[in-house]
């Protein structure tokens, strides 16, 4: 693991496996200090360019896990796999969605303009039992090719805390409230770019419509991978919810509350996942109808799966259980621990700890 943290490890022993990026470490103190200007003001552009990883060891392990599972192949790797037809269907569906959404328009390559790169990100989604749910493809912008104050300015966007979701689950269970989940369809593709946001994107690999040297896409709406994508989506969602009479919770800016008479409706959003609970079932139904008019959603019904956690609820006894059995079994299988015999003690008692 020390080798992985230092950038010497690789995701597998295959010749085609890529090495981990070197220096998986926290951003240097000097870089962070440079981003903090006089009088405490933060230069969000410089701070965004500093690659900060809270725990480099966990990040490296996560990369290794995904590579071993084969859940996130590159575009070239996917073309060589037996399931390529499924990936191709997902890619074409994504392109059709972007076209129907009015995400861009094709224009001549402007002289001296910065053109943001693009790439395909492929992912296999699994359900609570660990079975393949669907093949997912996304065309994303290479945000690192953007230029501060040219392609973007501010980038910060709040995210609801995990502890907030845990509290809302406990609150709903204690009061016997309904606990539902909704999923926003392609949320980062919804916000319309402002007139001052001029972003040019290169045409996607192997799906070029016009001469890629002479023509590029000018984005009309936000796209995955842009540095400001999360901020644009948060501002758009907050604006729409305020029109529906919601108020932003001061303790967590990703939680929105609406009080109607003696009833309360609480919505906690985490990117495209949304947890909804209320003292009134009618308010939940009304919210789903109203928000679907603004942005297309998928109604997942009662929440049984959230952030990789399986939620089991006993309404009669007012008990609730959170488990990650599928995730744990996957890790054990990846580390070849699934066939080991259990021990009564965690480690050898003679093992020195210092």
Q: What is the pLDDT of residues 206-259, one digit of tens each?
A: 888 878 888 999 999 999 999 999 999 999 999 999 999 999 998 888 999 999
Query: Residue 18: its pLDDT value, please?
Result: 47
Q: Which two tokens stand for residue 268?
A: 């906690």
- Are residues 44 and 162 located together in one domain of the fold? no
**CA 61 remoteness from chain centre:** 18
Average pLDDT, the chain: 80
Same domain, residue pair 202 and 289: yes
Q: Do 303 and 261 belong together in one domain?
A: yes
Question: Which pLDDT score, from 0 to 100, does residue 201 have?
Answer: 94
- In this structure, the answer to whether residues 12 and 107 fall within a common structural domain is no
Answer yes or no: do 311 and 163 share one domain: yes
Does some domain include residue 322?
A: yes
| Same domain for 178 and 128 | yes
Residues 4 and 89 in one domain: no
Given a contact cutoff of 8 angstroms between Cβ atoms, the answer to whether 302 and 178 are in contact is yes
What is the domain range of residue 29?
1-55
> What's the rounded mean pLDDT across residues 317-326?
87
Q: How confident is the model at residue 288 (pLDDT cuts 50, 70, 90)?
A: very high
Under a CB-based contact definition with an 8 Å cutoff, are residues 268 and 165 in contact?
Answer: yes
Sheet holding 309-314, edge to edge: 305-306, 309-314, 319-323
Percent of all residues in the chain with a pLDDT value above 90, rounded to a whole number? 40
pLDDT of residue 344: 76
The band of 57, judged by pLDDT with boundaries at 50, 70 and 90, is very low
Instruction: State the chain's maximal CA–CA distance in angstroms.
Output: 70
- Indicate the range of 17-31, 61-75, 207-221 predicted with least confidence: 17-31
Asked whether the beta carbons of 100 and 206 are under 8 A apart, the reply is: no
Please indicate whether residue 78 or residue 22 has the higher confidence score (pLDDT).
78
120 and 19 in a common domain: no
Instruction: Give the residue-averaged pLDDT of 314-324.
Output: 88
Instruction: Specify if 344 maps to a domain.
Output: no
Q: So what's the pLDDT on residue 69?
A: 52
At residue 223, the pLDDT reads 92
pLDDT of 318 higher than 90: no
pLDDT, position 71: 75
pLDDT reported for residue 60: 46
pLDDT at 284 over 90: yes
pLDDT digits (tens, 9 = 90+) for 105-150: 999 999 889 999 999 999 988 776 677 888 989 999 999 999 998 9
Torsion on CA atoms 125, 126, 127, 132, rounded to nearest 10:
110
- Name the most confidently modeled range: 1-10, 42-51, 107-116, 344-353: 107-116
* Domains: count for the chain: 2
Per-residue pLDDT for 17 more than 90?
no
Within a domain: 352: no
What's the first-to-final CA gap in the chain, in angstroms? Answer: 18
Average pLDDT over residues 143-169: 89
Q: Using the predicted structure, report yes or no on whether residue 314 has a pLDDT greater than 70.
A: yes
Q: Which residue has the tokens 């040297």?
A: 213
Model confidence band, residue 324 (pLDDT cutoffs 50, 70, 90): confident
Does 34 lie in the same domain as 84?
A: no
Q: Which of 258, 231, 256 is closest to 160 using CA atoms?
A: 256
Average pLDDT over residues 69-94: 87
Do both 248 and 112 map to the same domain? yes
Tell me if 130 is assigned to some domain: yes
Query: What is the pLDDT confidence band of residue 5, given thresholds at 50, 70 and 90?
Result: very low
Q: Identify whether 162 is part of a domain.
A: yes
Residue 63 forms part of a structural domain: no
pLDDT at 33: 46
Residue 61 within any structural domain of the chain: no
By the 8 A CB rule, do 204 and 139 touch? yes
pLDDT band at 340 (very low <50, low <70, confident <90, very high): confident
Same domain, 42 and 79: no
Residue 61's contacts (CB-CB under 8 Å, 6 or more residues apart) are 1, 4
pLDDT of residue 216: 93
For 147-180, letters b (16+ CB in 10 Å) and e give: eeeebbeebebeebeeebbeebbeebbeeebbbb
Examine the domain organization and report whether 182 and 325 are in the same domain.
Answer: yes
Any domain includes 191: yes
């Amino acid at each position: 693991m020390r080798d992985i943290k230092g950038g010497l490890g690789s995701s597998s022993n295959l010749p085609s496996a890529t090495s981990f990026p070197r220096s998986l470490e926290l951003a240097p103190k000097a870089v962070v200090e440079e981003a903090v200007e006089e009088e405490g003001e933060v230069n969000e552009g410089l701070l965004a360019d500093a690659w900060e990883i809270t725990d480099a060891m966990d990040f490296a392990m996560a990369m290794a896990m995904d590579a071993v599972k084969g859940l996130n192949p590159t575009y070239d790797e996917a073309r060589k796999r037996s399931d390529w037809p499924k990936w191709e269907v997902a890619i074409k569906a994504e392109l059709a969605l972007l076209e129907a959404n009015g995400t861009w328009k094709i224009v001549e390559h402007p002289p001296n303009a910065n053109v943001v790169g693009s790439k395909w990100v492929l992912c296999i989604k699994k359900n609570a039992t660990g079975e393949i749910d669907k093949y997912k493809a996304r065309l994303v912008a290479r945000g690192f090719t953007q230029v501060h104050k040219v392609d973007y300015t501010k980038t910060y966007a709040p995210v609801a805390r995990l502890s907030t979701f845990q509290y809302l689950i406990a609150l709903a269970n204690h009061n016997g409230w309904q606990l539902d989940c909704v999923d926003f369809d392609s949320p980062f593709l919804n916000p319309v770019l402002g007139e001052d946001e001029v972003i040019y994107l290169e045409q996607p690999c192997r799906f070029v419509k016009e001469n890629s040297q002479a023509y590029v896409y000018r984005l009309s709406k936000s796209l995955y991978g842009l540095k400001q994508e999360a901020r644009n989506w948060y501002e758009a969602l907050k604006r729409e919810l305020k029109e529906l009479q919601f108020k932003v919770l001061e303790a967590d800016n990703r939680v929105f509350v609406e009080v109607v008479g003696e009833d309360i409706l609480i919505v906690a959003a985490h990117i495209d996942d949304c947890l909804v609970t209320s003292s009134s079932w009618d308010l939940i139904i009304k919210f789903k109808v109203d928000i679907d008019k603004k942005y297309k959603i998928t109604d997942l019904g009662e929440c049984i799966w959230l952030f990789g956690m399986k939620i089991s609820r006993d309404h009669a006894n007012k008990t609730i259980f959170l488990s990650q059995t599928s995730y744990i079994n996957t890790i054990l299988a990846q580390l070849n621990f699934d066939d080991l015999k259990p021990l009564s003690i965690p480690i050898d008692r003679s093992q020195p700890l210092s």
